Amino acid sequence: MFFFSGTLRSWGDNLYEKLTTELLLAREQRERRRLQTSKYTDQTLICLSLKIPGPDKQPPGAEKLFSWGLRQVLELLPLVESCSHGHDLLGPWALLGTCQDAREMKRKMVALEEALPAGRLLDIDIYAPEGWQIGRRELSLPTRPCLICKCAALDCMRQQRHSLTELKACVDELLAPFCS
């Protein structure tokens, strides 16, 4: 889900509801695209996007970080094909197919997400040819850490441990090398 602290709600419930609805719609459209693609291929699917907390999903540097991540995926997987790609309210995304083992791909993509500090803003999901998602837990890998306190990111998001201001400052710092 998306993290919105009480700060965003103070902008007004109508704005909050509208933004939440639009972001969920974009996410649903991506998922429909993935499901449609998986019907016509028996490949492992790689869904590359950004995971940026807060209402601004495309801050300065985000596009360059995504491009860097896409280049890294293509270098790691020379036998990959583009199934679909685009840009929506959530930012840029790409859906790639490969014949390589899904579990091995997940290990490589987690390593890529952890390769540099800003890589933590990349979201690289792996789906087995049968359609199910390969998660970190399934491979006995640690959960994705919070950007700020290193606890489990999902726990911090659900409990809204950090303010939108804190998260934005952290994201801006992580993206700074990609802003030039």
Q: Tell me the pLDDT of the chain (180 aa) as tens digits.
A: 344 444 444 445 676 687 788 889 989 999 998 988 888 888 999 999 999 998 899 999 999 999 999 999 999 887 888 888 999 999 999 999 999 999 999 999 999 999 999 999 999 999 999 999 999 999 999 999 999 998 999 999 899 999 999 999 999 999 999 997
> Does the predicted model carry a pTM greater than 0.95?
no
Q: Cβ contacts of residue 124 below 8 Å, gap of 6+?
A: 46, 47, 48, 69, 73, 109, 110, 112, 113
Cβ neighbours around 99 below 10 Å, total: 13
What angle (nearest 5°) sits at the alpha carbon of residue 90, between those of residues 109 and 122? 20
The DSSP secondary-structure symbol of 130 reads T
